[in-house]
Structure 1
Amino acid sequence: MSLFKIASVAAIALTLGACQSLFQPNYRAPLETTRDATETLKPGCTTPDCPLVNIDTLRFPAEPQLDGIVEKRLLQMTRTSPEAPAAPTLAAYRDEFLRTAGPRNSSYLQAKVREQHDGLVIVEFSSYLDTGGAHGTPGRGFINYSRQQHKVLTLSDMLVPGQEEAFWKAAQVAHNSWLISTKLDQEPEFVKQWPFQKTQNVALTYGGVILKYEVSTIAPYALGHVELKIPYPRLNGILKPELFPGRN
């Protein structure tokens, strides 16, 4: 083959590669979001202690199916018991809550992007329900949305098959590190009363895998939502290789 033909083939290959890249999503660039925030008082109420619903959520114009996923997760956080049904929409929840709410009752729901990297969108959810008790009920949650797969990753999606037990052992090491850093390991009664537990709130952040706990699970209410962090090097052979930051 002549040098001219070789050069021509190489030029065509480079052109095709460039054209291909034009039609592939740029996962390094974060998804654009728009904020959708409202605060609604009970209709007809004019007193300072009017019940209210505050909803602060997100829209993803380039990934509209994520809008529905976010709304569904927020609605799950409004349930007052595992058996309670969730409202069909946030608007329906707001209207029903305000219809039955008493003075000073309030409900806050928020979805925010914690971070984006490697084609992952980590959305963090917060809720706070105040129905007049000694203190309100706060809630937290995560989703790890894969833009490549167009789905929310479950823990089994994240882990190498057969490595779930190893993952939770790594989480226990992170829990021990947290006890030491807070000096709570020096309080035998605390360690006995608040043992390590698993959580559904797992986030694949760039700096490490984060586990977030609901209040009063591994620590008293006053300590809030405890976060544990597992460094990625501890998850070699446990977490799927493509989910390590920078490898995908």
Structure 2
Amino acid sequence: MRAFHCLVLATAGLLLAGCQSLLSPAQQPLPTSTQRWEHRSTGCTGTECPLVNIDLQLPTGLPELNARIERELLQLTTELPSDPPPVSLARYEQDFLATAKPGWTSYLQAKVLEQHDRLLVIELSSYRFTGGAHGIPGRAYLNYDRTLNKVLTLNDMLLPDQEDAFWDQVQLAHQTWLKANGHDQDAEFLDTWPFERSDNIALLFGNVMLKYDIARIAPYSSGHPDLRVPYPRLNGILQPYYFPGRR
């Protein structure tokens, strides 16, 4: 019986190795490295010390993408989208701690959310508390095509002249989200929080996700709402090679 069990495991291992061997270099799982650190104001002790916490999971062998990840992560630290970001994480940390008041905190994270087919999906997260009733969270996503060696724009993802059709499908997903959260018959909610477009798009394995900043399509208490568009609804809209399982 034990010999049979070992044979099954060995066969499964060979099948997995065989499946992986069929993948192109751009479809093989890419290794990552992790960098983590947390620094507090010099000489400060106690629970109210200002701090900066950095947590980075970066793909190996892609320095240009990693530089882009750092730039986009630093952009999440700005007050306005038009503000220039800090020149580096080290400079951001230095400036934040030099001016921070007791209780101020800043968390920045980059992680590989998914790897599938030719895509590497990176999630960038931030949270800054600089006083007031609550902190400011942020999200951003990068979809990296390993075949093209580039971060995709929406135009890259879509077939020609299909942007309006794409947003029509997102609006249908918004209607689904409203109904699921009990807002579809709430006239005041619909008037206060109308549908908006979002640049935060992630080509996930299960669906296309659009993540919204707080207080965009729902109040702060709703966090970061996300809308999910099933891939079958994007036939004739999304580039065929971005459907999971297609090459």
2:75 touches 2:81 (CA, 8 Å); kept in 1?
Answer: no
In the alignment, what sits opposite 2:180?
A: 181
Helix, strand or coil at the partner of 1:172: helix
Task: Indicate whether 1:154 and 2:153 are aligned.
Answer: yes
Q: Give CA-to-partner distance per residue, 1:40-68, whole Å, 9 cap, x none.
A: 10112123211000111123222222211
- Measured after TM superposition, the shift of residue 144 of structure 1 is 0.1
- Measured after TM superposition, the shift of residue 244 of structure 1 is 0.8
Helix, strand or coil at the partner of 1:127: strand
In the alignment, what sits opposite 2:110?
A: 111
In the alignment, what sits opposite 1:223?
A: 222
Bigger shift: 184-193 or 209-218? Answer: 184-193
- Measured after TM superposition, the shift of residue 84 of structure 1 is 2.0
User: TM-score, normalising length from structure 1?
Assistant: 0.88
In the alignment, what sits opposite 2:65?
A: 66
Q: Distance in 1 between matches of 2:236 and 2:124?
A: 29
In the alignment, what sits opposite 2:246?
A: 247
Amino acid at match of 1:70: I
Q: Distance in 1 between matches of 2:208 and 2:58?
A: 25
Q: Distance in 2 between matches of 1:155 and 1:204?
A: 11
Q: Distance in 2 between matches of 1:195 and 1:219?
A: 8
CA RMSD of aligned residues (A): 1.4
- Measured after TM superposition, the shift of residue 25 of structure 1 is 5.2
- Measured after TM superposition, the shift of residue 193 of structure 1 is 1.2
Task: Indicate whether 1:75 and 2:50 are aligned.
Answer: no
Amino acid at match of 2:130: T
The 4+ residue runs of structure 1 with deviation greater than 6 A are none
Q: Distance in 2 between matches of 1:214 and 1:134?
A: 18
Amino acid at match of 1:221: Y
- Measured after TM superposition, the shift of residue 242 of structure 1 is 1.1
Helix, strand or coil at the partner of 1:26: coil
CA 247–25 in structure 1, closer or farther in 2 if over 3 Å, else same: closer
2:177 touches 2:227 (CA, 8 Å); kept in 1?
Answer: yes
Helix, strand or coil at the partner of 2:161: coil
Q: Distance in 1 between matches of 2:188 and 2:148?
A: 46
Q: Distance in 1 between matches of 2:229 and 2:146?
A: 23
- Measured after TM superposition, the shift of residue 169 of structure 1 is 0.5
In the alignment, what sits opposite 1:130?
A: 129
Q: Distance in 1 between matches of 2:65 and 2:36?
A: 17
Amino acid at match of 1:239: L
Task: Indicate whether 1:210 and 2:209 are aligned.
Answer: yes
Helix, strand or coil at the partner of 2:184: helix
Q: Distance in 1 between matches of 2:219 and 2:60?
A: 40
Q: Distance in 1 between matches of 2:58 and 2:112?
A: 11
- Measured after TM superposition, the shift of residue 153 of structure 1 is 0.2
1:58 touches 1:67 (CA, 8 Å); kept in 2?
Answer: no
- Measured after TM superposition, the shift of residue 194 of structure 1 is 0.8
- Measured after TM superposition, the shift of residue 83 of structure 1 is 3.0
Q: Distance in 2 between matches of 1:26 and 1:82?
A: 36
In the alignment, what sits opposite 1:42?
A: 41
Task: Indicate whether 1:194 and 2:193 are aligned.
Answer: yes
For structure 1, the 5+ residue unaligned runs are 1-21
Aligned length: 226
Q: Distance in 2 between matches of 1:89 and 1:166?
A: 39
Helix, strand or coil at the partner of 1:140: strand
Q: Distance in 2 between matches of 1:28 and 1:163?
A: 27
User: TM-score, normalising length from structure 2?
Assistant: 0.88
